[in-house]
Chains A and B, each alone.
Chain A
Amino acid sequence: MIVDALFSPFAEFEFMRRALVGVFALALGGAPIGVLLLLRRMSLVGDAMAHAILPGAAIGFLVSGLNLFAMTFGGLIAGFSVAILAGLVTRDTELREDATLAAFYLISLALGVAIVSIRGTNIDLLHVLFGDVLAMDGATLMVIAFNATLTLVVLAVIWRPLVVECVDPLFLRAVSRAGAPVHLVFLALVVVNLVNGFQALGTLLAVGLMVLPAGIARFWSRDITAMLAVAVAAAAASGYAGLVLSFHTRVPAGPAIILVAAALYFLSLVFGRAGGLWSRLFPAPHLEA
């Protein structure tokens, strides 16, 4: 019976299988990016970037309706522009990255909602804001899988300077000129994955499958490699459980996925082995040395 509830939705319905593959791909690409956002103290930057892609996607919508390719393309352009502009403003002025991004993302969000409202209905706006993981077609799935693959390959290439820039930026600056380009490439990867999540989760929740798994991972490991594994597993598990939950209830798929991730997050917050609340409240006896 329970087995039936857990597996039959995917056995019976193709759109559920597509959605499952889609969220697994999102987990593979997005969760590692989320971990790096967390370690670079940029979780809220990721959130801001998610809103920044909205006007581009909205212009895509304006030009060709609810066409995911046009909206993705527009989102990429808008996201890159804001990422690069914010990066340049941060590097060349005294305004910090958080302040710069806050300004850019507020402008983008207002612009995006305005553009969608001009042409579309409230339902279109809802779709743009919250996505629809169950409506993905095969081509969309290919785009998502491609982006996830691209993310993993590029991360592997820039991994070493990216990590050193987090731990000891001054050292990287002393031994190499890779710092600035690596930072920009990383921002680009953030945009790619937000646009990716945008298809399934919408502009407001896309960052959820990146940031929440990273937070979960932080409570289970103090080693970056293990954190990546935990984050990907947590994101994939949230995706699966969220789809099942959504199938059996009236909760839409996007919020269901994020709510499952949130539940895992709170469980980790309490029971996590690496600094969870439980181990703080009821510490094990101290060691001899």
Chain B
Amino acid sequence: MTAVSQLTFDDLTLGYERHPAVHHLTGTVEAGALLAVIGPNGAGKSTLLRAIAGILPPLAGTIARNGLDPRDIAYLPQIAEIDRSFPIPVFDFVSTGLWRTRGAFGRIGEAERGRIGHALSAVGLNGFERRGIGTLSGGQTQRMLFARMLLQDASVIVLDEPFNAIDSKTVEDLFALVAHWHGEGRTIVVALHDLDLVRARFPQTLLLARTPVAWGATAQVLTADNMLAARRMCEAFDDHAAACAAPSRAA
């Protein structure tokens, strides 16, 4: 069986106001892959994930999603822009994960309520249904976001540092969900900093430092040489940088 490439980056350059944050990335993520994206702060991890989710258009190059609409990709941003003071119960918030099937008008019937209940118990939020979202702790909020993602039932899942500032028990529970999704053959891309977790659980790793440093099997990517190389890449934009001379096909 030959693997299908779910995400294909072709000479992809991403950035803000012409400054590249991800520079000349080429490669493929196979369908069903569990890929860790690592690198120092400012390496372009979040930028790459935003582009995969279709929120950030490329400066140059292309992302092919194997025919998938970007809106069918489940994307968890690093800092969710949730208005936690909004008076809405957890149950209603999580139900928005059904958007792609229920849309703006679809009825949330008995079957859907059942699915929402299942998603809430899968993340360990039983009994929180009627609580306001503002009353949840950081870890509980993350569990709630995972519950919504469960309902999205997406074939490609993109998580931006989902385990930051989360206790080990919650990380364990939430990673169990990621592993479960992996088992179901979904394609999962996760940006994170916890190298132990990457070594233990992620078969594939992309080490990014604006330009891709290494991409492949985790053991071969996480070498001392590669890590040193990544750290050396400068973080700051140069305001006077010249236009990139590398041959690039326009987007």
- A residues with CB within 8 A of B: 39, 157-158, 160-161, 163-164, 166-171, 173-176, 178, 221-224, 227
Q: Does B71 contact A (CB under 8 A)?
A: yes
Q: Does B89 contact A (CB under 8 A)?
A: yes
Query: On chain B, which size bracket covers the interface?
Result: 20 to 34
- B residues with CB within 8 A of A: 53-55, 70-71, 73, 75, 77, 80-83, 86-89, 93, 96, 99-100, 103-105, 132-134, 148, 152
CB–CB A166/B86 < 8 A? yes
CB–CB A39/B86 < 8 A? yes
Q: How far is the CB of B226 from chain A (nearest CB, A)?
A: 32
| Residue of B70, B73, B103, B104 with highest tally of chain A CB at under 10 A | B104
CB–CB B71/A167 < 8 A? no
Q: How far is the CB of A15 from chain B (nearest CB, A)?
A: 39
CB–CB B104/A178 < 8 A? yes
Name A223's contact: one of B53, B93, B132 (CB within 8 Å): B132
B residues near A163, Cβ cutoff 8 Å: 88
Tell me the nearest residue of chain A to B75, going by C-beta.
A174
Instruction: From known contacts A173-B55, A221-B87, A222-B87, infer whether A168 and B71 are also in contact, taking CB-CB under 8 Å.
Output: no
B residues near A227, Cβ cutoff 8 Å: 87
Name A175's contact: one of B88, B100, B105 (CB within 8 Å): B100
A residues near B133, Cβ cutoff 8 Å: 167
- Bound-state CA distance A171–B152 (Å) is 11
CB–CB B87/A164 < 8 A? no
Name B71's contact: one of A160, A166, A176 (CB within 8 Å): A176
CB–CB A168/B87 < 8 A? no
CB–CB B104/A176 < 8 A? yes
Tell me the nearest residue of chain A to B89, going by C-beta.
A223
Name A167's contact: one of B77, B86, B104, B105 (CB within 8 Å): B86
Known contacts A158-B104, A167-B96; 17 additional CB pairs below 8 A are: A160-B96, A160-B104, A166-B86, A167-B88, A167-B133, A171-B80, A171-B148, A174-B53, A174-B71, A175-B99, A176-B103, A176-B104, A222-B132, A223-B88, A223-B132, A224-B87, A227-B87
A residues near B80, Cβ cutoff 8 Å: 168, 170-171
CB–CB A168/B104 < 8 A? no
CB–CB B86/A174 < 8 A? no
Tell me the nearest residue of chain A to B106, going by C-beta.
A160
- Bound-state CA distance A124–B132 (Å) is 49
Tell me the nearest residue of chain A to B72, going by C-beta.
A175
Q: How far is the CB of A12 from chain B (nearest CB, A)?
A: 42
CB–CB B55/A167 < 8 A? no
Q: How far is the CB of A250 from chain B (nearest CB, A)?
A: 40
